[in-house]
Amino acid sequence: MTRIAILDDYQRRALDMADWASLPGAEVVSFAQALAGPALARALADFDVVVAMRERTAFTAELIAQLPRLRLIASTGLRNAAIDLEACRRAGITVTGARGASHGLAATAETAWALILALHKRLLPSHLATTQGRWQPELALPLQGRVLGLVGLGNVGLHMARVGQAFGMQVIAWSPHLTDERAAQAGVSRVDKQELFAAADAVSLHLVLSAETAGVVGAAELAAMRPQAFLVNTARAGLVDEAALIDALAAGRIGGAGLDVFWQEPLPAAHALCTLPNVVLTPHLGYATEENLSAFYRNVVRGIRLWMDGGAPQLLA
């Protein structure tokens, strides 16, 4: 029997979203709770296949060494920087990827806009005040005429630019390899990084996390931001220096932050971010739509079936 573990099934929906019964001789177990440390190794010790949800769980060389039965890691998404691919190769473990829905990237941009709007329109303090009988505790901010700074102008960044332009915002962009030609095609202005952080009323991050982009937003970039400006991150937490951001928020040096990704997920309730009044926090919802997760799991099942049949599923690079 092939034992398959599905990680991070918080809504307990994974088993209903794909035809796991089509995998011959397989026993499928879904984990709704977050697993880490020694508990993770113990939980996965008797499984041949692990289905990893994006980059939520780190498969380090140390963890892999504790899982001698493991033969396949089936990751949702086509990138997963949390998996030590070289350690997997040494251990003879195949690592596959699975596509999500065609509009998965648009869903991430929609989450970014939800955070931008929540910050500008003071949705959370207004909701809380209204339920407590207090009226208009804060003034809202307009979007029209303000500056949207995009750090990254890939597929998600382009979607962000179009919506920002529809709101009547001036859109500027920077990334390590952005060209004037690509920026002009999107109708945005390419600026250098320092200028973007100094000029933008809202900075939204849309870079792939890599050795080049890790910590691309640090103390210097945050210090350059306007006192009322907002930082929004729906990409990867590692793009931002965590301590520098918390320090800037706690001191009120920036207006606030909207975060959908965190350095530790799930985010502990005792985390410093949870004590700050100038943040809007969502639990990594950018990709977590019914359609996207269903597509992920269906494609994971196809990949596992191919692997079981000796075929060639899509491998992570």
Asked whether 203 and 196 are in contact (CB, 8 A), the reply is: yes
Position of tokens 């991070």? 8
**Which ranges in the chain are annotated with CATH 3.40.50.720?**
2-101+290-308, 104-281
For the cut 80, the answer to whether the pLDDT of residue 95 exceeds it is yes
Asked whether 281 and 273 are in contact (CB, 8 A), the reply is: yes
Spatial separation of the C-alpha atoms in residues 98 and 76, rounded to whole Å: 5
Provide the token pair at 27.
Answer: 């026993």
Identify any residues that bridge with 259 across adjacent strands, giving them in sequence order. 233, 281
For the cut 90, the answer to whether the pLDDT of residue 315 exceeds it is no
Per-residue pLDDT at 263: 94
For the cut 80, the answer to whether the pLDDT of residue 317 exceeds it is no
Spatial separation of the C-alpha atoms in residues 126 and 138, rounded to whole Å: 7
Residue-wise pLDDT tens digits, 132-174 = 999 999 999 999 999 999 999 999 999 999 999 999 999 999 9
Crossing angle between the packed helical segments 155-166 and 104-120, to the nearest 10 degrees: 40
Residue-wise pLDDT tens digits, 214-237 = 999 999 999 999 999 999 999 999
Provide the token pair at 267.
Answer: 């985010």
CB-side neighbour CA atoms (13 Å) of 311: 10
Spatial separation of the C-alpha atoms in residues 73 and 136, rounded to whole Å: 51
DSSP structure class, residue 237? G
Position of tokens 């320092």? 194
Spatial separation of the C-alpha atoms in residues 39 and 118, rounded to whole Å: 37
Identify any residues that bridge with 75 across adjacent strands, giving them in sequence order. 52, 97
Residue 57 CB partners (closer than 8 Å, separation 6+): 7, 8, 35, 36, 40, 82
Crossing angle between the packed helical segments 290-308 and 104-120, to the nearest 10 degrees: 150
pLDDT band at 105 (very low <50, low <70, confident <90, very high): confident
The alpha carbon torsion through 158, 161, 163, 167 (nearest 10 deg) reads: -170
Per-residue pLDDT at 83: 96
Spatial separation of the C-alpha atoms in residues 241 and 263, rounded to whole Å: 10
Assigned superfamily of 104-281? NAD(P)-binding Rossmann-like Domain (3.40.50.720)
Provide the token pair at 204.
Answer: 């939204």
Spatial separation of the C-alpha atoms in residues 171 and 152, rounded to whole Å: 12
Residue-wise pLDDT tens digits, 2-41 = 999 999 999 999 999 999 999 999 999 999 999 999 999 9
Asked whether 186 and 159 are in contact (CB, 8 A), the reply is: no
Residue 312 CB partners (closer than 8 Å, separation 6+): 306
Position of tokens 């998404």? 77
For the cut 80, the answer to whether the pLDDT of residue 79 exceeds it is yes
Mean pLDDT of the chain: 96
Per-residue pLDDT at 312: 86
Residue of 52, 94, 87 lying closest to 66 (CA atoms): 87
Per-residue pLDDT at 181: 97
pLDDT band at 245 (very low <50, low <70, confident <90, very high): very high
Mean pLDDT of 283-288: 94
Catalytically active residues are 236, 265, 284
List the CATH code of the domain at 2-101+290-308.
3.40.50.720
Mean pLDDT of 86-113: 95
Position of tokens 């979607």? 159
